[in-house]
Amino acid sequence: MQTGIPPEITNGLSSLRRRIRWIQLIRGLLKTASVVLIGLLAIVALDFFLAPLPSWARTMLFFGWIIASGLAAIIFIAKSLLTKISLVKLARWLEERHPEVQERISTALELSDHPEGISPELLLELSNEAVADIGTVDPNEEVAGSRVRRSIWAVTTCLVAIISLVAIWPREMSRLLTRAVSPFTELGNAGAFRFDMSSGNLEVLEGDKVQIDLTYTGDLEKPLQLVIEKNGNFISETLEPSASDGNSHRYSYHLHSAETGFKYSALVAGNKSDRFEVKVYRLPRILEPTVNFRYPPYTEWPDREVSLGTGIQALAGTEVTLKGRFDTPIERGEVLFDSGSLGEINLEPTPRGTMVTWSQILQPGFEGVALMKVEHRLGRELDAAQFQLLAEEDPAPEVEILTPIQRVFQVKPTEQVILVYSAVEQIGIAKVEIELEVNGKPVKSLAELLPERIDGANGKLWEGEAMILLSNIVAKHKGAKQVKMRLAVSDNRPEWLSGPGIGYSEWLEFKLDINAESLVRQELHNQESDIKKTVGDAIKKVQEARNKMHDAKSQLDKEQVSERAEEVLAQAREKLENAKEDLGELSERMKQSVQEHRRDDVEQAVAKLDEAKRSVENAPLQDTPEARKSEVDNALRESEEAINDLRELRQDIQKDQPKTNDLAKLQEMAQKQEELAREAAEQAPDQDWENEQRQMQEQIRQEVAQSPEAKAAAMKAQANQVMELSNEAEELKKAQEGLSKLSEEAEPAPQKMNADQLKNALAQEQQNALTEARQELAEARRDNEDDRAGDLDKAIKEAQEATNKARQSELEKAAELAKKVADVLAESSEQSPSQEALKEKQEKLSDAFDSLAQGDAEKAQDALKDIQEMFNPREIAKALAEEQLKAANEARQEMSEAKRDNEGRADDLAKAAKEATEAAEEAQKNNPAQAAQAAQKAVEELAKNAEGSLTQEGLQNKQEKLAEALEALAEGNTAEAQAALEEVQNIADPDDVAKALTNAQQDIFEGARKELSDAQKGQEARAKSLPKAVEHAEEAFSEASQANAKAAAEAAQNAA
């Protein structure tokens, strides 16, 4: 410790040390400054004398200068200041300069650190003398500033040199100094002042012309080079002066279409100009444009977002929002339409560009081209986008009366009119009315029930039924002799969109006549007449087409098809097409008639006409006369069969006439019965009415007793819906007993279920899930899956409790238990796809129970529907096992045929059959993963040597489908597995195909023999060639019977 040293000694030495540190700092700074200034002058000199100095050289000089300056600072400043100077060392240095001190200061310092064994009085005396000695020391004299002054000369010399150079050559030196300290500057070198770059920095749009003007003042020692840097590449182009005036030379560079930006500078000998930039902005194009549609509330349609494409097309009243971005700076913009503005666009700068949004409600009548015009940052207005804008009107409903077919009637005043109609409406129907005119004057309309939306028609088709009692109209309007009516269907379009839209049907005119035939009888008669007339016209057109075909056939003997033959065939094709269209329209009309069960006969005739038409179309395309005639013969055969079918249909309709009369008679009595019932409701019953009622009932009973068909119709007639009989006529066709089967058809199930029905249905589904869980448990125990078996055991207990709670109407508890079952099943569901499906089913059951408990029956019913539509992996596996077993049997059959023919593929087929059988067994055990592996191995075996056998190739294709289905099932993709299974089930059975071909060949053989017999009887020339054809046909039949497809094909070709 130095606590014994007098403070005068330490203060004096500290003062001296501070003086030393200050001188060291000043000298270090001056020396470092000298290095910096000398390096700067060196860079300036090199840049001047070695001009033009490459940028890489300037960069290296700059970093070398920085490194040298750093080293100088370390050596001259940091090193000196970081060297430690102790008080003892400083005292010894001072004593060397002053011998008269006789080392008293250093001795006092050293003894104060180790006072042991030293007399305090002696140490005190020594310290006092040292204090006296240190008091005579002046730090400024001891450490003079002479060395500092020597360092100042170097710095001063450099500064004077720089200042002098700047004063003499200010323009050159200012550039050289800037370039020295900033190697990446765009400034030119010392000779840059000779250039006048009048164009400077330019900003242009893509495709604009670029003109660079510059002037060089001085002698042209070398030609001027225009240096262009584009995408990191340098291009040098020599320019010739466009004009010269003494030492002043003007240059101009033209670029016809700017595509990308670049930097440019000019170079003459060693003089280099400043570097400028030509910035090229992209033309404004809206990128990634999307359109969001927010439809009017009355549609209840969800929002939708699509790509802009070529335009915006949506329902009137829809709010459309266009979104996109620009990759070029945009100041403002607007959308123009039909010479007016649809509002400005909103712009939001982001790192990815300028985001643009524009919203507009499509007003009715919008139709045309919209233009987005924007103002670029350069001040120019440009077209950024052009798109179609169309506001689709919500059309009024299109109303068509399906029955009755007639439009003018003569009916009794007591008749009831039943209108079955359809309406095409995209969104919704709000009101249905029947507009009336009595004796030519409008009267109050009648309100009707709304129609029902028909599934499968994209929600656009509606069908409804209206009943009008003419007796009521006559009662309200005395003297009525004529009643006209039509349907007026209103949609739910709001008023602000000019709604509602109203669609009208055709007018129906009813002339009232007490002696007129019943409307039911008229309608049935009209339907029958319509069918007979349409069928007759179709037969006539088909016969005309056949005549044309016969005419054309006689002209097809030549190698080239004549224009006359092509024209005749075209006429035949047109006749067939017309007949087909007429029958197709008839089939649609028959949907609402009592002959609906005959529609299949019409469709069958249409299919044959379609086949005949295709043959007529293909005939001219064939290469040989024989092939053309074969097509024509096929068309004649198909058209003849179609005519026979249509004639048979006409006869069947004629046979149905007694039954139709019975139906008409029954409906007349039913209407009279209803009329009596209405009268009874309006007034108190009296004896005359009761007698009349009993008489009517007795008449109906007699009619029913006499006609079994009437018995069935009577049960339906009580529902007052005569057209419902036609809708159920399919049952008539299936039973072929006329109207006797109508009563057996059940009423359609209600669309919505009540709470009790839902509870019972969900409880049943929970019971089914319990059964499936027990099956899973059995499989887990069979496969020794102890963990899964334990989970399933817990799940079964919870599922049983959930079933009990559901039946006891404790739905919330049932929901909780069903959720617990799902959670337990989830713990090991990855081991079994069927368990995974069962887990999903339990989750849906939990949601359904919870929804029903909360009173949301609709949501619960939706969940129930989802549950019922779920695919069962176990059932799919079972079906796949059956198909796989069939494939294994087919492989064995193929193997037997290969062994019979001594083919090498027999061994491969045996292996394939083995693997296919194993796959079937694993699938039967509900092990789809193992089944998929075995099925894939079967595919690989079937692929070997399959090229020579079409049946083996077909079997290979089937096996591949089975492997795909099993693999999808193993991965839990039940929908994909089901689709693959259906594909397999739709593959034609080779045996069935072979049988069909054998039967067809037998028909051909018998036909050829008959042709030979006819030719021999008529002593025709073809009798010479037909025996060979019969022989080959017989051979083809024989080979086909033996399943020898190749030989049968060759024989059939020879026969042809």
Q: Is the pLDDT of residue 978 over 80?
A: yes
What integer pLDDT is reported at residue 718 of this predicted model? Answer: 35
Q: Is the pLDDT of residue 300 over 60?
A: yes
DSSP β-ladder status, 330-337 and 202-205: unpaired
Q: What is the mean pLDDT of residues 357-364?
A: 92
Q: What is the mean pLDDT of residues 462-481?
A: 90
* pTM of structure: 0.46
| 356 confidence band (pLDDT: 50, 70, 90) | very high
Q: Is the pLDDT of residue 66 over 80?
A: yes
Residue 498, Cα to own-chain centre: how many angstroms? 35
Q: Is the pLDDT of residue 496 over 60?
A: yes
| 650 confidence band (pLDDT: 50, 70, 90) | confident
Token pair of 294, please? Answer: 């927010």
Instruction: Give the closest residue to 835 by CA, choosing from 908, 918, 776, 771.
Output: 776
Q: Quote the percentage of the chain above a pLDDT of 70.
A: 78
| Cβ-proximal residues to 750 (8 Å cutoff; 6+ apart), any chain | none
- Residue-level length of the chain: 1056
Rounded Cα distance, 912 and 907, in Å: 9
Contact 471, 428 (CB under 8 A): no
Q: Quote the percentage of the chain above a pLDDT of 90.
A: 18
Instruction: Give the closest residue to 556 by CA, choosing from 610, 623, 611.
Output: 623
Q: Is the pLDDT of residue 829 over 80?
A: no
What integer pLDDT is reported at residue 123 of this predicted model? Answer: 63
Sheet strand arrangement including 340-344 = 311-315, 381-392, 367-376, 330-337, 340-344
Rounded Cα distance, 179 and 190, in Å: 10
Instruction: Give the closest residue to 171 by CA, choosing from 184, 190, 158.
Output: 190
| Residue 262 backbone phi and psi in degrees, to 5 | -160, 165
Q: Report how far apart, in Å, the C-alpha atoms of 1029 and of each of 332, 562, 996, 1001, 1032 are.
A: 86, 29, 21, 12, 5
Rounded Cα distance, 60 and 70, in Å: 15
What integer pLDDT is reported at residue 1046 of this predicted model? Answer: 55
Choice between 746 and 141, residue whose per-residue pLDDT is larger: 141
Rounded Cα distance, 285 and 290, in Å: 14
| 732 confidence band (pLDDT: 50, 70, 90) | very low
Q: Is the pLDDT of residue 1011 over 60?
A: yes
What integer pLDDT is reported at residue 484 of this predicted model? Answer: 95
Work out the mean pLDDT of the chain and round it to a whole number. 80
Considering 155-169, 556-570, 662-676, the range whose residues carry the highest mean pLDDT is 155-169
Token pair of 627, please? Answer: 């092939």
Q: Mind listing the pLDDT tens digit for each residue in 809-819?
A: 888 888 888 88
Q: What is the mean pLDDT of residues 926-943?
A: 85
What integer pLDDT is reported at residue 252 of this predicted model? Answer: 92
Element (DSSP H or E) covering residue 92: helix 87-97
Rounded Cα distance, 425 and 423, in Å: 6
Beta bridge partners of 239: 224
| 1056 confidence band (pLDDT: 50, 70, 90) | low
> Hey, what amino acid is at 782?
R
Residue 977, Cα to own-chain centre: how many angstroms? 23
What integer pLDDT is reported at residue 430 of this predicted model? Answer: 92
Q: Give the other-Cβ count within 10 Å of 221's Cβ.
A: 9
| Cβ-proximal residues to 443 (8 Å cutoff; 6+ apart), any chain | 436, 437, 473, 476, 477
Contact 787, 781 (CB under 8 A): no
Q: Mind listing the pLDDT tens digit for each residue in 206-262?
A: 999 999 999 999 888 889 989 999 888 889 999 989 898 888 999 999 999 998 999
Rounded Cα distance, 520 and 404, in Å: 9
Q: What is the mean pLDDT of residues 249-276?
A: 90
600 in helix, strand or coil?
helix
Rounded Cα distance, 260 and 439, in Å: 82
What integer pLDDT is reported at residue 1032 of this predicted model? Answer: 65
**Which residue shows structure tokens 């099925």?**
935
Rounded Cα distance, 472 and 93, in Å: 140
What integer pLDDT is reported at residue 262 of this predicted model? Answer: 93
Token pair of 843, please? Answer: 């989750």
Beta bridge partners of 385: 372
854 in helix, strand or coil?
coil
C-alpha angle 403-409-411 in degrees, rounded to nearest 5: 105
Token pair of 788, please? Answer: 């899964």
What integer pLDDT is reported at residue 722 of this predicted model? Answer: 35
What integer pLDDT is reported at residue 670 of this predicted model? Answer: 63
Q: Is the pLDDT of residue 844 over 80?
A: yes
C-alpha angle 120-123-127 in degrees, rounded to nearest 5: 135
What integer pLDDT is reported at residue 432 of this predicted model? Answer: 95
Q: What is the mean pLDDT of residues 606-633?
A: 86
Q: Is the pLDDT of residue 681 over 70?
A: no
| 193 confidence band (pLDDT: 50, 70, 90) | confident
Token pair of 357, please? Answer: 């949004």
Q: Is the pLDDT of residue 850 over 60?
A: yes
What integer pLDDT is reported at residue 486 of this predicted model? Answer: 96
